[in-house]
Copies of this chain bind each other. A is one copy, B any other.
Amino acid sequence: MSVFTFDIPRVGAQVFIEPGQTAAEIDTWFSIMNKYGLDICRIRLYESYMRKPDGTWDFTLFDLAYEAAENYNIKVFGTLFPATTFEDVGGFKFPRTYGHLESIADYIKNLISHFKLFKSCAAWVLINEPGSDCIPQDQFSQDKFNEWEKEQPEKNANNKGYHVFHFKEERFLVDYNTWYLKWLADEIYKYDPGSHLHVNNHNIFQNVQEYDFPKWREFLTTLGGSGHASWHFGYFERSQYAMAMSANAEIILSGAGDIPWFMTELQGGNNTYSGYAPMCPTKEEIYQWLWTIIGTGGKGGLFWCLNPRASGYEAGEWAMIDFQNDPSDRLLAASFVANIIRKNPPLFAKAEPVESGINLIYIRESLWIEEKLQAGGIPYEGRNPGGAMKSVLGYFEAFSEMGIQCSIKEINEFDFARDDYHGTTVILAHQTSVPSRQWKNLENFVYNGGKLIVDGLTAYYDENAHCIMKTGFPLENLFGGLIKEFKVVGNLFDFTLSDPNLTLSAHLWRGSILNKTSKSIARSDNEVIATRNTFGKGEVLWMPSMVGLGSRMSEYKNLTMLLNTELNESISTLPFRFKAPQEKMFMKTLKSGNSFITILINKNTGSQKVELEIRDHFIPTVLFADQDGIISRTNIVSISPEETIVIMWN
């Protein structure tokens, strides 16, 4: 039975198994993994390479891999990969017919029954990268949609009689993904009950709109992700890829909730023709990515891939070893990290991210609406798809430059059931849709001491793209006022606050506020454009302009000043942060027993000296620094360009 559990974070890789490979080669790859301290691997279990034309099964090729894994003490995460064409590079996401579904069940039966017997068999990956962007145009999916539609409640009570969009396709797609993953889990458990189940989402900044992580947790053992710089970080420049990895990791951490997570795929080598933005990771990037994952509580990272596939799309690409099976500097870097962890097992085994109490909330419906209402035209970042997510990233990056980590949560992942939210902040950055089921939750949150920061066109719509600002704003009491109207101002415009006194950059639209219980803190053209409202024991800071995205498009200096002032109470209780904001740097903090671990990454082109603001007194030890990184007695970290420094504090 495949019940692998993580103690310390692991470093691993995909071993790509395909016909043509020899037993000796396969053995070599596992021996390499062993030699370099990678003790977990993933293997794609191609039905096409197991089931013979006459219907019988020949597992030989993959047996070689599982056996080699056993011999070298490597744990295998086997990825289900039912028969598909040679040209299908990522695998299908949904069955096409009922016959197809049965065929998949039969594959699972044969596959699981066979491979579960290997000692190296650690876990099953239900599918490779779920997420299909749209409902397939086949009968099976149509039938499933019809079934689903029948189960939906007739009317949405919040429409006040208005006709609205229902987003049935979008809602179905979320549920359909969940249904299929659950079905796969159930099938596996018929033959290997209780085994470790895992799945890797991908392209998170876009695809997250069809993932329902809290539902997935119910049948997964661990949650994973594909965080491929060259495919998935299109909202970022290369110099921001470590930041992108950090945001990706936070999204998965939140999605995982009470189950562990790790990054199932990381780019291990060079792109030739595949990948959106071709690149070859540097060894420094390998350090940055792995430590960022670990710093976000990830239980490890697996590179795609150890050995390159030899044919088809991606032939010769992505690998951590070269064509002679010699290690690249990327593999050596990964090995270095693996060994640091192994040297400190109790420290890392218990390490957990320190929560700052700051929560960047994104809302699936905001992504749907943004997509649905596209009318073409002159492109603006905030109006094109991506506006909502990039607004969240704006705040995330600002906090990162302050040396503070914050959660990125889908609104359903946030715990609204607490009775005290002092020290907790929620930021709704241009989340145009706030579904009706969350209105009371947000009130309770603030009422019980929470701080809510509202940016952009947040709460313009409910979940049906109904404009709730027009028809009796349900958040009037909470926000302490009403929006009069939004106006396009320009691509970037000044947004000047009086309390605190500073000027931010904002993007595209500016809302004017009719303040009621709230206090105006910014005016423009004789209109109130930002307010504070005390509500119960908490406060709402309302800036109905795209300040997060506007800062992202210009600079974070003034936004970090605002956040520093605004969240002073919570921030000042953090064990570690930067004394002053640091452009192009970030820090992650873990707690392990009474110790802390801080991970600093410098993406500047020059060396930096960073003074840390530390709550208590600790003695630092540099666990890892890939260049000349040191920390002084006065807690000033010296860090080279591209360097990662890991410091233990006791």
Contacts and interface: CB of A to CB of B under 8 A. Distances in A.
Interface of A: 18-20, 49, 86-87, 159-165, 269-280, 308-313, 315-316, 319, 322-324, 326, 328, 370, 373-378, 380, 383, 457, 460-461, 464-467, 469-471, 473, 482-488, 508-509, 512, 514
A470 B315 contact: yes
A512 B324 CA distance: 12
A418 to B, nearest CB: 32
A275 B377 contact: yes
A20 B378 contact: no
B18 A162 contact: yes
A161 B322 contact: no
Most B C-beta atoms less than 10 A away, residue of A270, A272, A277, A466: A272
A486 B461 CA distance: 50
27 contacts: A18-B162, A20-B160, A20-B162, A86-B163, A87-B165, A163-B311, A165-B311, A270-B487, A270-B509, A272-B373, A274-B375, A276-B377, A277-B378, A278-B508, A279-B488, A280-B488, A309-B467, A310-B471, A312-B465, A316-B460, A316-B461, A316-B486, A323-B469, A323-B485, A324-B484, A326-B484, A328-B485
A621 B153 CA distance: 66
Nearest to A61: B161
Nearest to A466: B311
A319 B485 contact: yes
A472 to B, nearest CB: 10
A587 to B, nearest CB: 29
A163 B19 contact: yes
A482 to B, nearest CB: 6
A276 B485 contact: no
Contact of A162 (B310, B373, B460, B508): B310
Q: 5 closest A-B pairs (Cβ-Cβ)?
A: A20-B162, A316-B467, A273-B373, A276-B377, A280-B487
A95 to B, nearest CB: 23
B162 A308 contact: no
B377 A278 contact: yes
A278 B470 contact: no
Given A315-B466, A465-B311, A323 B484 contact: yes
Contacts of A276: 375-378
Contact of A485 (B269, B466, B509): B269
Nearest to A376: B276
Given A20-B161, A276-B378, 7 more contacts: A18-B162, A87-B165, A162-B311, A163-B312, A277-B378, A280-B487, A308-B470
Contacts of A370: 273
A460 B311 CA distance: 11
A631 B311 CA distance: 57
A526 to B, nearest CB: 10
A508 B316 CA distance: 16
Most B C-beta atoms less than 10 A away, residue of A160, A269, A370: A160
A518 to B, nearest CB: 15
Contacts of A457: 272
Nearest to A313: B373
Contacts of A514: 322, 324
A482 B159 CA distance: 68
A279 B487 CA distance: 7
B163 A315 contact: no
B380 A278 contact: yes
A271 to B, nearest CB: 7
Contacts of A272: 373, 383, 457, 460, 486, 509
Contacts of A485: 269-270, 280, 319, 322-323, 328
Given A316-B460, A460-B272, A484-B323, A20 B163 contact: yes
A312 B273 CA distance: 41
Contacts of A322: 484-485, 512, 514
Contacts of A309: 467
B280 A324 contact: no
Contacts of A313: 373, 375
A273 B461 CA distance: 12
A311 B467 contact: yes
Contacts of A269: 485
Contact of A470 (B159, B323, B374, B464): B323
A173 B119 CA distance: 51
Contacts of A375: 273-276, 313
B383 A278 contact: yes
Contacts of A311: 159, 162-165, 464-467
Nearest to A525: B329
Most B C-beta atoms less than 10 A away, residue of A164, A322, A376: A322
A308 B485 CA distance: 11
